[in-house]
Chains A and B, each alone.
Chain A
Amino acid sequence: MNKVFNKFLFVITILAFCALSSKAEILRDEFIDETLGSVELTKPVSYDKYNYESFEGIPIKLKINEKITTKKDGIYDGQMLNFTVRTNVKYKNQIIIKQGTPVKAQVSTYLTKGMNGIPGTIIVDNFQIDGIDSSKIKGFYIKKGLNLSLLVFPIKWALTPIPGVGSLTNFILGGNATLSDKDTVIIYYYPLWGKIEKL
Chain B
Amino acid sequence: MKKFLLSFLIMFISALGAMAQESVSSSEIINDIAVQKQISDIGFKILNSNKIELRMIFVYNSKNDLVKLEPGLTKRQIVVYDKNLKFASDDAEIAAFLAREICKSSESYHGVFKGMLTSVQIKCAPKKYEIFFDKLAVDLMVNAGYNPIALIIYMNKAYPQKRYDKIARANLTSKRLANVYEYIYTKYPYFLKNNEYLENEAYQNFLLTSIENRKKLAEKIKSGSKKAVNYE
User: A residues bordering B, Cβ < 8 Å?
Assistant: 26-29, 31-32, 34-37, 39, 41-44, 46-48, 50, 52, 73, 76-79, 106, 108-109, 111, 114-116, 118, 121, 123, 125, 138-139, 142, 147, 149-150, 153
**CB-defined contacts of A115 to chain B, threshold 8 Å:** 125, 128
Q: Which of A48, A78, A116 contacts B187 (CB 8 A)?
A: A78
Contact B217 A123 (CB under 8 A): no
**CB-defined contacts of A109 to chain B, threshold 8 Å:** 132, 135-136, 139, 183
Interface size classification for chain B = 35 or more
Closest residue on chain B to residue A52 by CB atoms: B48
Task: Tell me if A's interface is mostly helix, strand, loop or mixed.
Answer: loop
Contact A44 B125 (CB under 8 A): no
A29 to B194, CA, bound (A): 11
Contact A29 B186 (CB under 8 A): no
Contact A31 B132 (CB under 8 A): no
Asked if B145 lies at the interface with its beta carbon under 8 angstroms from chain A, I say yes
Closest residue on chain A to residue B129 by CB atoms: A111
Closest residue on chain A to residue B205 by CB atoms: A27
* Shortest CB distance B165–A (Å): 15
**CB-defined contacts of A108 to chain B, threshold 8 Å:** 135-136, 139, 187
* Shortest CB distance A128–B (Å): 14
B185-217 interface (Cβ within 8 A of A): 185-190, 192-195, 198-199, 204, 207-208, 214, 217
Contact B226 A73 (CB under 8 A): yes
Given A26-B199, A31-B217, A111-B128, A44–B192 Cβ distance below 8 Å? no
* Shortest CB distance B49–A (Å): 5
